[in-house]
């Protein structure tokens, strides 16, 4: 057996953290965990104004893809996914990691430009945006004009190919139609969130948004029956452990590789490769 000790603050990091209006980001993502996304699409000079410098988000270009950064592993997996589907320059990474200040600027600009209703539907309040984690990416089909806040990302063609492979690479379409009451965000078919494997596949199989998935996992506590799934020819065992006030200690089978993520609420999700 192998003893594992987790500190309370680890609840607030990992690929399964829930960040929404109810659960703001508690820890900013360390800069060393963020890197630029490598992508063949480079924008020309006249298309590269940052959003806060633009008069309008409509009919103006996105941030240049060279400026789109993500959490390191998320970036690597997304680059691999782009290569697998051969998307080349047909897909544009529009927005990835944002600092708190950038989110504040986007929110303020949207309020001024589009008003309260639009902004509350499509732009998360500063501190409550998944973009501040580095685990989220907005994608657009490479077709003028590109709307920075609501990029066009249809369900067919190369975008459909991306969607069909996304879950097996650990990405989910985060804000789906019918889940608005849970996510607090209008449907955003362009916004993908990295949660990793096997989570993305389980979420898709059950039709769960992240809020529902984390609640579901609580039904499989460390002390009780664990969730066993078979995904991508691998077997996984998952369970939830509520965090103690200071240190959370538990033991795992010593021979199994595992991953642990906080949920940004009150506990940890363990994933064991069986
Ligand atoms: Zn987004």
pLDDT band at 51 (very low <50, low <70, confident <90, very high): very low
Ligand 1 centroid to 18 CA: how many Å? 14
Ligand 1 centroid to 124 CA: how many Å? 9
Per-residue pLDDT at 63 exceeds 50: no
Q: Which of 126, 157, 122, 127 is nearest to 138 (CA)?
A: 122
pLDDT of residue 49: 40
Ligand 1 centroid to 250 CA: how many Å? 36
**Residues of the chain with pLDDT > 90: what percent?**
84
In the structure, ligand 1 is a single-atom ion and the residues with CB under 5 Å from it are 138, 191
Per-residue pLDDT tens over the stretch 209-226? 999 999 999 999 999 999
DSSP 128: S
Q: What is the radius of gyration, based on Cα positions, of the chain?
A: 19
Q: Which of 196, 230, 225 is nearest to 213 (CA)?
A: 196
Please state whether beta strands 171-175 and 136-141 pair in parallel, antiparallel, or not at all (unpaired).
unpaired
pLDDT of residue 254: 84
pLDDT of residue 187: 96
**221 alpha carbon, distance to own chain's centre:** 24
What mean pLDDT comes out for the span 66-75? Answer: 91
Phi, psi dihedrals of residue 163, rounded to the nearest 5°: -60, -40
Per-residue pLDDT tens over the stretch 163-172? 999 999 999 9
Phi, psi dihedrals of residue 138, rounded to the nearest 5°: -100, 130
Instruction: Tell me the angle at which helices 157-166 and 72-85 cross, rounded to the nearest 10 degrees.
Output: 130
User: Which positions are catalytic?
Assistant: 188
pLDDT of residue 48: 41
Ligand 1 centroid to 175 CA: how many Å? 9
pLDDT band at 258 (very low <50, low <70, confident <90, very high): very high
What does the block give as tokens for 199?
């989570």
**219 alpha carbon, distance to own chain's centre:** 23
Cβ atoms of 57 and 149 closer than 8 Å:
yes
Contacts of residue 177, Cβ cutoff 8 Å, sequence gap at least 6: 187
Per-residue pLDDT tens over the stretch 104-160? 999 999 999 999 999 998 999 999 999 999 999 999 999 999 998 899 999 999 999
pLDDT of residue 39: 86
pLDDT of residue 46: 35
Ligand 1 centroid to 128 CA: how many Å? 12
- CB-neighbour burial class of residue 31 (10 A; exposed 0-12, middle 13-18, buried 19+): exposed
Domains and CATH numbers, the chain: 1-16+206-274 (3.30.200.180), 20-194 (3.30.1380.10)
pLDDT of residue 77: 98
Per-residue pLDDT at 80 exceeds 60: yes
Please state whether beta strands 247-252 and 2-7 pair in parallel, antiparallel, or not at all (unpaired).
antiparallel
Q: How far apart are CA 154 and CA 225, in angstroms?
A: 40
């Amino acid at each position: 057996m192998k003893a594992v000790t987790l500190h309370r603050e680890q609840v607030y990091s990992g690929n399964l953290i829930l960040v929404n209006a109810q659960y703001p980001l508690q820890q900013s993502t360390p800069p060393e965990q963020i890197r630029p996304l490598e992508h063949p699409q480079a924008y020309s000079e006249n298309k590269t104004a940052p959003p806060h410098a633009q008069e309008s988000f409509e009919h103006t270009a996105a941030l240049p893809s060279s400026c789109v950064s993500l959490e390191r592993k998320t970036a690597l997996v997304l680059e691999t996914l782009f290569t697998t589907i051969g998307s080349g320059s047909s897909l544009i990474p529009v927005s990835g990691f944002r600092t708190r200040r950038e989110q504040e600027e986007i929110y303020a600009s949207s309020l001024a430009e589009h008003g309260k209703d639009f902004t509350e539907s499509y732009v998360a309040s500063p501190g409550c945006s998944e973009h501040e984690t580095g685990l989220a990416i907005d994608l657009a089909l490479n077709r003028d004009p590109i709307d920075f806040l609501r990029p066009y990302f249809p369900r067919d063609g190369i975008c459909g190919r991306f969607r069909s492979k996304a879950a097996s690479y650990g990405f989910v379409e985060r804000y789906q139609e019918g889940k608005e009451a849970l996510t607090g965000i209008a449907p955003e078919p362009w916004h993908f969130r990295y949660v990793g494997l096997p989570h993305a596949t389980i979420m898709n199989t059950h039709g769960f948004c992240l809020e529902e998935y984390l609640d579901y996992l609580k039904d499989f506590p460390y002390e009780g029956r664990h969730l066993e799934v078979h995904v991508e020819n691998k077997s996984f065992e998952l369970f939830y452990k509520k965090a103690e006030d200071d240190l959370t200690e538990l033991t795992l089978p010593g021979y199994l590789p595992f991953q642990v993520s906080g949920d940004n609420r009150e506990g940890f999700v363990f994933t064991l490769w069986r």
